Amino acid sequence: MVIVTGKRPVVPEIDPQQAWERASRGDAVIVDVREPDEVAEVAVPGAMVIPLGKLDEQVETIPSDREVLFLCRSGNRSAYATDFYRQRGHERTANITGGIIAWTKANLPTTRGR
C-alpha cells in the first residue's frame, strides 16, 4: 500500500517537456496516478493510468524495460508513487514536476476523456 504522509518524499524530478521527449522516443513510460474522473477531464496520450490507491496491486503491470515517469495533478501524489516504486528496487524512475497542470501550461499534447 502507498502511504501518504504530511511530508512529501524527496525523489528525482523531470520537467514535463523532457518527460514527453523521453516517452515519445520510447525511452520512458508515463504512469498517471490520478483518479479516473481526473483523467477523464484531460490525459496524456499513451500514458498508463493507475490510480495511486491501486499502485501496490498493479505495480507489476508497469514495464520494467524503460524509465518510469509518474504524473498526477500537481506533482504531489506522483512524488509518493515515485518513492513507492523506488523502494521496490526500481531506480529508473522520476516524478514529473508540476503534474498535469505544468504539462498543460507547457502546451504538451493532451487528450480528453478515457
* Domain range enclosing 91: 13-105
**How far apart, in Å, do the first and last CA atoms of the chain sit?**
25
Instruction: For 64-79, write each residue's pLDDT tens digit.
Output: 999 999 999 999 999 9
Residue 2 counted as domain residue: no
Number of domains present in the structure of the chain = 1
pLDDT number for residue 1: 53
Angle at 5 between CA 13 and CA 65, to 5 degrees: 40
Query: pTM above 0.95?
Result: no
Please state, as a whole number, how many other Cβ atoms lie within 10 Å of the Cβ of residue 9: 16
pLDDT score at 41: 96
Is 37 a known active-site residue?
A: no
Torsion of CA 88, 91, 92, 98, to 10 degrees: 80
Sequence letter at residue 86: R
Residue 61 located in a structural domain: yes
User: Is there a domain that residue 71 lies in?
Assistant: yes
Q: Is the pLDDT of residue 3 over 60?
A: no
48 domain-assigned = yes
pLDDT digits (tens, 9 = 90+) for 8-51: 678 999 999 999 999 999 999 999 999 999 999 999 999 999 99
Catalytic residue among 43, 55, 68, 72: 72
- Answer whether residue 57 shows pLDDT above 60: yes
Residue 8: inside a domain, yes or no? no
Specify the CATH number for the domain of residue 46.
Answer: 3.40.250.10
Asked if residue 1 is part of any domain, the answer here is no
